[in-house]
Amino acid sequence: MEPGVVFHSDRGIEFSNYEFRRQLSELGMVQSMNRPGRMNDNAHMESFFHSMKCEELYGKKFNTEQQLRATLSSYIRFYNDRRLHSSLRYLPPTAYESRTQGASSVN
């Protein structure tokens, strides 16, 4: 893992625990937490994980970590490159981002 990878979470006690924070530091990770009282700070990621669990993980058994990693990698590519998102005018995130960047560079 590259140093500086951000681990974002809510403010749950398990994430503010000294031992957990120490392990993140040893791995070179940067901890990020929702602001107090701002549950929507992480809404997009909560939505992503819900979709991933329901669409790809529930009901499946993985015999090896490699199988799980391959499945997750494949789903993330699908989610970003092919899955249509109603909040993005029924475009995949990569297509929406390309259109948004193209529109802003014209101005």
Residue 13: count other Cβ atoms within 10 Å of its Cβ.
Answer: 7
**Residue 93 maps to a domain:** yes
**Residue 92 maps to a domain:** yes
Residue 85: count other Cβ atoms within 10 Å of its Cβ.
Answer: 16
Query: Which residues lie closer than 8 Å to 88 by C-beta, 6 or more apart?
Result: 96
pLDDT in tens, 9-61: 888 889 889 999 999 999 999 998 888 877 777 788 888 999 999 999 999 99
Query: Where in the sequence is the domain holding 18, given as residue range(s)?
Result: 6-33
In this structure, the answer to whether residues 11 and 50 fall within a common structural domain is no
d(C-alpha 32, C-alpha 42), whole Å: 11
pTM of the model: 0.67
In this structure, the answer to whether residues 12 and 53 fall within a common structural domain is no
